[in-house]
Amino acid sequence: MTPELAELAAAHGVATRYENADQVEVTVDADVVVAVLAQLDVDASSAEAVQRALTAVREARAARKLPPTLVVRGGQSRELGIAATVELEDGTTREVGSVLPADLPLGWHEVVTAEQRVPLAVVPDRLPEVPPAWGWMLQLYALHSGQSWGMGDFGDLATMAERSAKELQAGVLLVNPVQAISPAHPVERSPYSPSSRRYANPLYLRVADTEAFACASEEVQRKVLALAPEPTGELIDYDAVWTAKCAALELLRRHHPRPVELDDDLRDFAAFGALAEVHGSDWREWPAPLRDPASAEVAAAREELAERIEFHGWLQQLCHEQLDRVRRIAREAGMPVGVVHDLPVGVHPGGADTWAQREVFAARVRVGAPPDAFNQQGQDWNLPPWRPDRLAEAGYAPFRDVVRGVLRHADGIRVDHVAGMWRLWWIPPGEPAGRGTYVHYDAEAMLGVLALEAHRAGAVVVGEDLGTVEDVVTETMHERGLLSSAVLWFQRDWEAPGKPFVRPDRWDPDAMASISTHDLPTVTGWLDAEHVRVRARLGLLGRPVREEYAEAAEDRSALLEMVASEGIPDDDLVVALHALLASAASRLVLTAPADVVGERRQPNLPGTVDEYPNWRIPLPVTVDGFFADPRVRAAVAPLAAARPLR
């Protein structure tokens, strides 16, 4: 790689080398760097092209007065180098000269100079301390009850919140992403590949809890309830659930007592839904004129599909109502933290957000992760990333709106792959997951926007910082009052011989701790080496299977040694591991329903799509059966004793 190409890559935030999970420096192939730069509209295909691009970069730097967006921490001044006025969001104006004063209020403002108008976000330096609590990591779709239709719904979530607090002393619920799907078959199963991160998923609506159902006649109510799909008891059938709920809600639409109010953004989202019903869930496969939301053909379709657009807007209104009810119930039940919603790292490449906001996405790139111990071939999540340059030019409004959309109904937000606010692993077109590189973002700006919106919502923030993550990520989160993540399987002394497990009382106090995650084996699966068996069967191992089994046995032995050293009885290993978790120094400790009832299969197996039943595995018990199960109460008793509700 030439020094000129390296300089050009650095100017655009494209890494030419990185440190892998084993802390070994890896040099990125020059052709990968060139391919990634091309996705940022930078031609580096020849030495001459590189020189032209470098000249353009230098000229732009010389001409620029202010960056496209300013993000400053409250209580700190900032030198502008140019005379400016600040227009505050309350409508008032302040003359500030060439220095932003330290006493500007938190909020979204604008800096105005003779030549520029630049968005200004004044953000909190640190978020408040999170109260200690224990709780559940819920895969909502996996819940089921006599009232839910083939998969968990917002009604089940409300029940889990209320009963967990009142009966089990739980103080927090972390919910898998419940962002919007494309309303067409086949329904996307992964909650981490939503059509939009700004809106909610009507698949989780409880039809019988709507006002329209209450206002309908008994005859209509009977017709609606007759549409409920028969429970299969095996894998969740998303298509059947959506078909049934959509038909039921169409019957109920005319019985809703109030008009539907749609703002411009919601109307655009609802228009995508109406078009997706006709042309399919992926807008990239629609007729060419409909791929542009500003086209005359789309305008005509909006008029033709006005009733369906209103219907999809109404579904969002219902989601808002039911999610608000869940949050209210959790608070009234005494949860000190409440309901924390999970924010996925991206959206489906053919979904509503990329259709409406395509200018801020690198459409042909796929986000993923480099190879590590659990995913030895790397990961390809098939999610298009935001372009860091376009995000800054947009004043970070797309990111702000996503965070607002989640926090509208939440007491907290968990940011999946929080390291993505620093850098994301970009996989250029035509390359496998392992042949990519990192592209860097303005982490100070991204964290500032997140902190400002969380401050305004009174919400806690948790960052998922597992895997190949730079130390600066966790260190900065703690400085700003965000919790990091601690997972038992990864709490090891990696420098010591044998890589022993670290005692829980030495874990990070500013963290949300758990035994496992949705991408890792369940407790029972890990103890029985189910993760080795499944990955071997599917050809996902990068070394001989006997070595994998040997390592799993060594890990199990090491963990049991720590259980014994802590004086914890090991007659029931599930209970023993929860007692170990209860002793963690971390502020929040969470466990999963699948772990306490002995489910062997993990919710998601990275590196697979249809080879494994990802996101389709229901709990083996109903919600009522869950709370009646003595295994549940035995497992969580040490958690409740260590962190009782205040």
pLDDT in tens, 432-487: 999 999 999 999 999 999 999 999 999 999 999 987 788 999 999 999 999 999 99
Percentage of residues in the chain with pLDDT exceeding 70? 99
* pLDDT tens readout for residues 42-74: 999 999 999 999 999 998 888 878 999 999 999
Residue 231: predicted pLDDT: 77
Partners of 1 in beta bridges: none
| Under 8 Å between Cβ of 146 and 159 | no
Q: Which of 267, 299, 316 is the endpoint of a domain? A: 316
Question: What is the overall mean pLDDT for the chain?
Answer: 95
**What mean pLDDT do residues 582-600 have?**
97
Say if CB 384 and CB 59 are below 8 A apart.
Answer: no
User: Within a domain: residue 98?
Assistant: yes
Q: Is the pLDDT of residue 377 over 80?
A: no
Report the DSSP beta bridge partners of residue 489: none
Q: Half-sphere exposure (CA, 13 Å, Cβ side) for 377? A: 14
Global pTM value: 0.95
Same domain, 192 and 301: yes
**According to the model, what pLDDT value does residue 606 have?**
84
Contact present, 483 and 460 (Cβ < 8 Å):
yes
Mean pLDDT, to the nearest integer, of 279-290?
Answer: 97
Do 298 and 251 belong to one domain?
yes
Residue with structure tokens 């869950």? 626
Across the range 215-219, mean pLDDT stands at 97
For residue 19, tell me if it sits in a domain: yes
- pLDDT value of position 47: 94
Share of the chain above pLDDT 90, in %: 89
Regarding whether 295 and 226 lie in a shared domain, the answer is: yes
In a domain, 230, yes or no: yes
Q: In degrees, to the nearest 5, what angle opens at C-alpha 415 toward C-alphas 532 and 263?
A: 130
- The residue assigned the tokens 């919710």 is 603
pLDDT at 645 over 90: no
Cα separations in angstroms, 372 against 70, 420, 513, 606: 36, 17, 21, 12
Q: Is the peptide bond before 186 cis (omega within 30 degrees of 0)?
A: yes
pLDDT tens-digit readout, 83-106 = 999 999 999 999 999 999 999 999
- pLDDT band at residue 373 under the 50/70/90 scheme: low
Is a pLDDT exceeding 80 seen at residue 631?
yes
| Closest residue by Cα to residue 636 from 627, 415, 153 | 627
**Other CB atoms within 10 A of residue 154 CB:** 27
Residue 533 has pLDDT above 80, yes or no: yes
| Residues whose CB is less than 8 angstroms from the CB of residue 444 and which lie 6 or more positions away in sequence, other chains included | 71
Return the amino acid letter for 513.
Answer: A
DSSP state of 365: -
One domain, residues 26 and 114: no
pLDDT at 201 over 70: yes
Other residues' Cβ atoms within 10 Å of the Cβ of residue 85: 15
Residue 497: its pLDDT value, please? Answer: 84
Q: Which token pair is 208?
A: 């019988």
- What is residue 18's three-state secondary structure? strand
User: Number of folded domains in the chain?
Assistant: 3
Please tell me whether residues 197 and 219 are part of one structural domain: yes
Q: The domain containing residue 245 runs over which residues?
A: 180-316
- For strands 78-87 and 93-100, give the pairing: antiparallel
Q: Per-residue pLDDT tens for 127-168?
A: 999 999 999 999 999 999 999 999 999 999 999 999 999 999
Same domain, 230 and 302: yes
- State the DSSP code for 500: P
Same-domain pairing of 310 and 186: yes
- For the stretch 246-269, pLDDT in tens is 999 999 999 998 888 899 999 999
Residue 376 scores a pLDDT above 80 = no
122, β-bridge pairs: 72, 107
Dihedral of CA atoms 516, 344, 228, 245 in degrees, nearest 10, equals 170
Residue 117 resides in a domain: yes
